[in-house]
Structure 1
Amino acid sequence: MPIEEELTPRQIVAKLDEHIIGQKNAKKAVAIALRNRTRRKKLDLEMREEIYPKNIIMIGPTGVGKTEIARRLSKLCGAPFLKVEATKYTEVGYVGRDVESMIRDLAVISMNLVKQEFRTKVEETAKQKAEEALLDILLPFPVENKYNPGQAADFKTSSTDEEERKTHFFETREFMRKKLKTGKLDDQEVELDLPNPSVSQIPMLQVFGAGNLDDLDNQLQNVLGDLLPKKIKT
């Protein structure tokens, strides 16, 4: 559930007060507008069509906090924030890849928001897997004893000794886990091989205009250099 669905207008203003000084009227106006949009989403579809959400235009000199209010408000509701300079839409010129695109910027910002959301969801699982990987390096699993044809079998003690070794190993592993969580192993250095994320997928070529041959040449070199899988030692 987004944060704005849990906050009242007064609480939204309090959140904005943590980062922005002054502009009480502006904060109150945007907080009420955000809350009204949240209330509108909870209505039935027929009733929702009869209520139009109000947009907000903040007018004022540079430096009074218009952009910062919008930026902080976007974080509260989990919406992409994009700052657009109106002058770039009044210029006469070629419309293409080399010209800033609001749609492309919005797409990039939205993708980053989704990536951050998924990182947050898997953060705890990633910590647990990283912890297990570190423990595997610090305390590898013992190699099981293999059958030796030249050695007489001892059926009375072999199974008992094996169970004792396993019990001792897992007790030691839990002891190391506690030391790892409490930070007592922070000075310990370990080495592990990680796959290079730059070659996790097939490189893609972008289409360049006639005036971007240098960029195309550089990109071709990067693609050819990344075809072979690499590992990073950390």
Structure 2
Amino acid sequence: MHLHFTPRQIVEKLDQYIIGQKDAKKAVAVALRNRYRRSKLAENLRDEIAPKNILMIGPTGVGKTEVARRMAKLVGAPFIKVEATKFTEVGYVGRDVESMVRDLVETSVRIVKEEMVIKVQDKAEEQANQRLVEILVPSPEKQSGFKNPLEMLFGGAQNSNQTSDAQEDVEIEKKRQDVERKLAAGLLEDEIVSIEVTEQQSSMFDMLQG
């Protein structure tokens, strides 16, 4: 749980989306802040303080679900809405508590994946742009500087080939910088790039898991 707001600030955040329900918003803000403070205590002290759960009761449309949803989003916690009428006793048609817990776990995993995507988004975009630049301005295949065994022994054209390769590398680098600027400016959106992706063969361990 990541919470750096006071109860007053939490209420102000909820006021941006929920009209009225001042007492309810104040109660859940205090309860949430207390739970956060409990998580910061030492292990031996934490066991002495029982966290308070929240039960909201009221008619349809007063904002119970929205308060809970906004609170979950505020602290980055998973949130699922469960209709009690869908749950029945084990052995009857319907869902059980295990399916509710499973949905909660899946929601938690999805939140973590979204956080990881956001964390690496800038780096992934940079690497993707770099790969596009390399595809649009590929490096030429360099041939051997020796055309016959005598040149290998006496170094006939080696120096001239090295100079030519160096000049070619400089020109390619200039072209790539130009393409990189155009790519950043959005001037190459109509370009079509084809990339071959090889399918990875599943290992025996993956087959046993699947």
Could you state the TM-score of these two structures normalised by the residue count of structure 2? 0.81
Q: 1:160: Cα distance to partner?
A: 2.0
Q: Distance in 2 between matches of 1:154 and 1:92?
A: 86
Change (3 A) 1:146 1:15: farther
2:172 equivalent among 155, 169, 172: 169
Structure 1 stretches lacking a partner, 5+ long: 206-234
- Paired residue for 1:218? none
Change (3 A) 1:11 1:182: farther
Q: Distance in 2 between matches of 1:120 and 1:195?
A: 26
Change (3 A) 1:8 1:196: farther
Identity of aligned residues (%): 44
The within-5 A match list for 1:20-99 is: 20-89=18-87, 91-92=88-89, 94=91, 99=95
Q: Which stretch has the larger CA shift, 54-63 or 102-111?
A: 102-111
Q: Distance in 2 between matches of 1:33 and 1:56?
A: 8
1:124 equivalent among 111, 114, 122: 122
Matched letter for residue 91 of structure 2 = Y
Change (3 A) 1:194 1:24: farther
1:189 aligns with 2:186: no
Secondary structure of the residue that 2:47 maps to in structure 1? helix
Structure 2 stretches lacking a partner, 5+ long: none
Q: Which stretch has the larger CA shift, 144-153 or 37-46?
A: 144-153
How many aligned positions are there? 200
1:19 aligns with 2:32: no
Q: 1:118: Cα distance to partner?
A: 2.1
Are 2:182 and 2:188, in contact at CA under 8 Å, matched by a contact in 1?
yes
1:154 aligns with 2:152: no
Secondary structure of the residue that 2:177 maps to in structure 1? helix
Could you state the TM-score of these two structures normalised by the residue count of structure 1? 0.73
Change (3 A) 1:37 1:99: closer
Q: Distance in 1 between matches of 2:40 and 2:84?
A: 34
The within-5 A match list for 1:196-215 is: 202=207
The Cα RMSD (Å) is 2.8
Secondary structure of the residue that 1:184 maps to in structure 2? coil
Q: Distance in 2 between matches of 1:85 and 1:143?
A: 64
Q: 1:136: Cα distance to partner?
A: 2.0
Q: 1:66: Cα distance to partner?
A: 0.7
Q: 1:163: Cα distance to partner?
A: 1.4
Secondary structure of the residue that 1:50 maps to in structure 2? coil
1:135 aligns with 2:138: no
